[in-house]
Structure 1
Amino acid sequence: MLRRSLLLVSAALAWSSAAMADTIKIGVTPGPHAQILEAVKPIAAAKGLEIQLVEFSDYVVPNAALDAGEIQANSFQNQPYLDNQKADRGYRIEAVALTVNFPIGVYSKRHKSWADIPDGGKVSIPNDPTNGGRVLLLLRDKGVIKLKDGVGFKPTVLDITENPKKLKFVEVDAAQAPRALDDVDAAAINTNYATQAGLDPVKDPILREDPKGPYVNLIAVRAADKDKPWVKTLVDSYRTPEVKEFVLSKFKGAVLPSW
């Protein structure tokens, strides 16, 4: 009788624990962001937080879905991009933790080095203000172009003051950048899309961004949710030694932890 009572108590506690577990949906882009969150899931589950991943194929929809309450968090963007989205669309979304950095690269199928890019060559850059500006800043820092003073983090091609090679910049959707490689001399490609296309973000770029800077990615939630207990559990589960080791061993320098 005592054994039966203990079994009933144990079952009741297990049911109660399961009932108390939070379940959240997190928006990610395919590739590293999704892979990292898969590594986070069992750690969070052990702390009572169940994570369901929702993959989005572009950079626009995840914030719209978060603001609308279709998901509870997302992990795919950096602060300049989030700031731009909030300014343009009025989203009530806040960053709650920095995660990883993806140094952006410039790739080419036609040329082995940047020095081989001909005068008048075509270079594709992302057509969103944050990532397009990020590439222009990279090209400025490498001495390829000069930009107006005070352009901040979101310069456009209109801010180019010197372009010695007379490069022609072609703006494309970030997700389509790998496809542009066949049609241009060089293409700037975000790391997650580069890895999806089978490119090596460490070895293949002919130019690569300095990993230091404002472009560390982040976890974002609705402003109304930022102080909820599950947010702390999510952040603590992500920023663990186990996840850091996963990132370093899995991506071998293509993705860099921020903690």
Structure 2
Amino acid sequence: MKKSAYWLIGIVVVVVLAGFGIHSISSSQASNKSHSSSILIGSEGSDIDIWQHIAKTDDAKKLGLKIKVKNIADGVQLNKATADGDVDVNAFQSWSYYLTYNQQNKANKLTALGTTYLEPMGIYSKKYKNVKDIPAGATIAIANNPSQAARGLILLQKAGLITLDKNFGYVGTLKDIKSNPKHFKFRQIDDTTGPRIINDVDAVLISNTVALEGHLHVLTDSIYHEKVDQSTKDNINILATSEKNKDNANYKKLVKLYHQKDIQKYIKDKYYGTKIEVNKPLSYLK
């Protein structure tokens, strides 16, 4: 009888422990399911404000997304945090910046989720109202930052002012100018100083973020600016995640979320139409 009692107690213990195990697994699955809909977005600058706004919208709730936003001001560190999984998705970089990062970090790559916007770079001048009026020998200020300088040179070529080497890439330099028929002089500057030196040169190339900070509107104050076409595809901003998360369904929903009409209205109103929506497939950038 004692043996029977021990067996009975043993069976009860096993059943109880099994019950706890099932409950634990169920709780863990529920927790993982809950975690999968919570997304940490790393960003910087104006994109912080945009995604903090998006996180509070009904659109995000309808898609079942819980969004948290973290400010990481250094782009390289932000990409590394994303590749390592410390940040789920990042929203700050252009297609060319993304390609450069992946080239330099082949063992820990990112993958693009979708396109967001283009912030046009502009050519500004207080002396001339048309790029055709810029005279021979004029001084044009251009960023000393490699990626911004290359972008500026491409814009000058698009404006018909110079010709670049046919192999010019997104990290090209002044040495890659093939033809400079008006013998322009180029003054390399810190790209944040553009609005302050606009009166000291004949023309200056300024990125949109810096222009807005200097109370300049690229669509109305520049004498020439980028438009959404194949010549500017490398400057289109994207959402990116680690390569291992390329098929994450919730992360992909962020692209759809960003392009919702009411969210786009908010962005347009807040940034005066200077963040031009680009809702294109990733194949457009390749």
- 1:165 corresponds to 2:182: yes
Structure 1 pair 66–169 and aligned structure 2 pair: CA distance change class (3 A):
farther
RMSD after superposition:
2.9
* 1:247 matches 2:263: no
Matched, 1:28 2:43: yes
Per the alignment, residue 204 of structure 1 pairs with: 221
Distance 2:187 2:75 in 1: 19
Match in the other structure for 1:67:
83
Give runs of aligned pairs for residues 98-113 of structure 1, distance below 5 A. Answer: 98-109=115-126, 111-113=128-130
- State the shift of 1:103 in Å: 1.8
1:232 is aligned to 252
Matched, 1:187 2:204: yes
**Which of the numbers 237, 249, 256 marks the counterpart of 1:217?**
237
Which residue does the alignment assign to 2:16? none
Question: How far apart, in 1, do the equivalents of 2:215 and 2:134 lie?
Answer: 22
Report the counterpart of residue 48 of structure 1 in structure 2.
64
TM-score, normalization by structure 1? 0.78
User: How far apart, in 2, do the equivalents of 1:87 and 1:172 lie?
Assistant: 27
SS at match of 1:230: helix
Whether the aligned pair in 1 keeps the contact of 2:123 and 2:224 (CA below 8 Å) is yes
5 Å-filtered alignment, 1:76-87, equals 76-87=92-103
The Cα of 1:71 is off from its aligned counterpart by 2.2
Q: 1:131, CA displacement in angstroms?
A: 2.9
Distance 1:108 1:57 in 2: 30
Residues 101 and 146 of structure 1: CA distance in aligned 2, closer, same or farther (over 3 Å):
same
Q: Secondary structure at the match of 1:71?
A: coil
Secondary structure of the corresponding residue to residue 199 of structure 1: coil
Structure having the larger proportion of residues in helix: 2
Query: What residue in structure 2 maps to residue 256 of structure 1?
Result: 276
Distance 2:193 2:101 in 1: 20
- Distance in 2 (CA, whole Å) between partners of 1:67 and 1:176 is 32
Report deviation, 1:180: 4.9
**Distance in 2 between the 1:64 and 1:249 partners?**
32
Specify every segment of 5 or more residues in structure 1 that has no aligned partner in the other structure, as ranges.
Answer: 1-15
Q: Which has the larger radius of gyration?
A: 2
Once the two structures are aligned, what percentage of the paired residues are identical?
Answer: 30
Structure 2 unaligned blocks of 5 or more = 1-29, 280-286
Answer whether contact 2:83 2:243 (CA < 8 A) is retained: no
The 8 Å contact of residues 78 and 90 in structure 2, kept in 1 or not, is answered as yes
Distance of aligned partners of 1:198 and 1:156 in 2 relative to their CA distance in 1, 3 Å threshold: same
Contact 1:92 1:223 in 2 (8 A): yes
Residue 163 of structure 1: CA displacement? Answer: 1.6
Question: Size of the alignment, in residue pairs?
Answer: 242
TM-score normalized by structure 2?
A: 0.72
Shift of 1:210: 2.4
CA drift of 1:116 comes to 5.4
How far apart in 2 are the matches of 1:124 and 1:71? 37
Rate the CA distance shift 1:179–1:149 in 2: closer, same or farther, 3 A. Answer: same
Select 2:52's aligned residue among 14, 38, 43.
38
SS for the counterpart of 1:103 is coil
Residue matched to 1:7? none
